[in-house]
């Protein structure tokens, strides 16, 4: 017997909805897109014309429809209020990253999910990328031994060529974005580090600043030092002034060797053992905004699978909260010019 269709609405019809959520829902055989929402109706209309469903300008109208789930694809400051409203309305919710603008908001979102008995998943797609899945397996197999230090970077020229709002949009407006490169990019790597290392980041020292972009009032660069629960440390950098191109790489330095992720153009995973042996793995290209983000992120499939199988999402609200907590500690360290504890 065919599965009952999961009926979804997309709230926010900008770039992430256009390039990932809408095509991935549309490609899923068990999903029906019921509505697109955007504060600019023509953006919702454009996606509805392509994929079907209603075009709405208020998210409340979507929540009143007979739907099972929503994607929250709006600027960061609206994640918490819209997610909480959706959960209170009894809809499973996939919310984009960064999950929220504070730990209090993140906890309120998790509480709403628990109260409603509906799933909350956060769009941390980096840990679903094939190279990172492969890396996790190599780390669990102990191939490079214990990770002692690490460095990770997510840097590109900025979101102005990606966002539907261009260089005058919400990404550069603190009231809507809350943070700049750290919310756009840094939080992805905070989640990835937690996933790969299998332990918490407990302390941060960071410089986070608006160094160069002519527009906006949010950080365009951050350099952070992070300490893990087991005492190791490493760096995380995010940048919107890496021009041209992108640095979306991670290197883990272990007791038995080095694991390089995303830095070799031909082999996305490279192991260099202390013995001199090298291992090369071709495990799919890194999904980038530059490549149009058209390859499948795995996020929508995972969300729909959770709903269909009544299995809580792996990338849960709590996982999103802990990645956000690393970013919040970095901001606090920058403000106080001191080490900051991560609220876990």
Residues 17, 45: contact at Cβ < 8 Å? no
Residue 203 has a CB neighbour count (10 Å cut-off) of: 18
Q: How far is CA 243 from CA 57, 69, 74, in A?
A: 36, 38, 26
Q: For residue 288, what is the enclosing H or E element?
A: none
321, HSE (Cβ side, Cα atoms, 13 Å)? 16
The reply on whether position 76 binds ligand NAD by CB under 6 A is yes
Radius of gyration from C-alpha coordinates of the chain = 20
State which of residues 125, 237, 238, 268 lies at the interface with ligand NAD (CB under 6 A).
Answer: 125
Residue-by-residue DSSP string for 67-136 = -SEEEE-S-GGGHHHHHHHHHHTT-EEEEPSS--SSHHHHHHHHHHHHHHT--EEE--GGGGSHHHHHHH
Stretch that binds ligand NAD, among 74-82, 232-240, 241-249, 256-264 (CB under 6 A): 74-82
Residues 162, 117: Cα–Cα separation, whole Å: 35
**Toward ligand NAD, which CB reaches closer, 40 or 212?**
40
Residues 249, 238: Cα–Cα separation, whole Å: 11
Residues 1-30, mask of contacts with ligand NAD (x by CB under 6 A): ----------xxxxxxx-------------
Count H helices and E strands in the chain, helices first: 12, 15
- To ligand NAD, the closest distance from the beta carbon of 303 in angstroms equals 12
The reply on whether position 40 binds ligand NAD by CB under 6 A is yes
Residues 344, 340: Cα–Cα separation, whole Å: 12
The reply on whether position 164 binds ligand NAD by CB under 6 A is yes
The reply on whether position 152 binds ligand NAD by CB under 6 A is no
- To ligand NAD, the closest distance from the beta carbon of 2 in angstroms equals 30
The reply on whether position 99 binds ligand NAD by CB under 6 A is no
- To ligand NAD, the closest distance from the beta carbon of 95 in angstroms equals 8
**Toward ligand NAD, which CB reaches closer, 14 or 23?**
14
State which of residues 25, 36, 78, 240 lies at the interface with ligand NAD (CB under 6 A).
Answer: 78
The reply on whether position 37 binds ligand NAD by CB under 6 A is yes
Applying CB under 6 A, the site for ligand NAD has a residue count of 29
Q: Is 276 helix (H, G, I), strand (E, B) or coil?
A: coil
The reply on whether position 219 binds ligand NAD by CB under 6 A is no
Residues 184-213, mask of contacts with ligand NAD (x by CB under 6 A): x-----------------------------
Tokens 């407006």, residue located: 173
Residues 310, 329: Cα–Cα separation, whole Å: 34
Residues 108, 262: Cα–Cα separation, whole Å: 35
- To ligand NAD, the closest distance from the beta carbon of 343 in angstroms equals 21
The reply on whether position 246 binds ligand NAD by CB under 6 A is no
Tokens, residue 235: 């760096």
State which of residues 23, 53, 158, 169 lies at the interface with ligand NAD (CB under 6 A).
Answer: 169
Stretch that binds ligand NAD, among 39-47, 141-149, 150-158, 272-280 (CB under 6 A): 39-47
User: In the complex, which residues of this chain contact ligand NAD (CB under 6 A)?
Assistant: 11-17, 37-40, 43, 59, 73-76, 78, 96-97, 123, 125, 162-165, 169-170, 184
């Amino acid at each position: 017997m065919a599965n009952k269709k999961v009926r979804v609405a997309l709230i926010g019809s900008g770039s992430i909805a256009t390039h990932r959520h809408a095509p991935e829902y549309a490609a899923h055989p068990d999903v029906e897109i019921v509505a697109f929402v955007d504060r600019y109706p023509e953006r919702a209309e454009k996606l509805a014309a392509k994929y079907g469903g209603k075009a709405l300008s208020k998210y409340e109208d979507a929540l009143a429809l007979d739907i099972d789930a929503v994607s929250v694809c709006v600027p960061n400051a609206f994640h918490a209020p819209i997610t909480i409203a959706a959960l209170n309305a009894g809809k499973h919710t996939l919310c984009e990253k960064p999950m929220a603008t504070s730990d209090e908001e993140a906890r309120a979102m998790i509480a709403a999910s628990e109260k409603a008995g509906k799933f909350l998943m956060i769009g941390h797609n980096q840990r679903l990328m094939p190279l990172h899945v492969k890396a996790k397996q190599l780390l669990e197999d102990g191939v490079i031994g214990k990770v002692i230090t690490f460095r990770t970077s997510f840097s590109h020229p900025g979101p102005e060529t990606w966002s539907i709002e261009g260089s005058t949009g919400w990404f550069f407006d603190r009231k809507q974005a809350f943070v700049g490169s750290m919310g756009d990019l840094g939080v992805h790597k905070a989640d990835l580090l937690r996933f790969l290392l299998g332990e918490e980041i407990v302390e941060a020292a960071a410089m986070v600043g608006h160094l160069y972009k002519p527009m906006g009032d949010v950080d365009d660069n951050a350099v952070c030092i992070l300490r893990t629960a087991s005492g190791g440390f490493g760096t995380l950098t995010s940048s919107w002034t890496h021009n041209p191109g992108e640095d979306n790489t991670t290197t883990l330095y272990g007791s038995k060797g080095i694991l390089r992720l995303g830095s070799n153009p031909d082999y996305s995973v490279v192991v260099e053992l202390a013995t001199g042996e090298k291992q090369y793995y071709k495990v799919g290209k890194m999904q980038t905004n530059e490549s149009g983000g058209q390859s499948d992120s795995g996020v929508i499939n995972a969300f729909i699978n959770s709903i269909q199988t009544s299995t809580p999402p792996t990338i849960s609200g709590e996982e999103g909260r802990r990645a956000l907590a690393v970013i919040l500690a970095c901001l606090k360290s920058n403000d106080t010019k001191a080490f900051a504890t991560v609220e876990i």
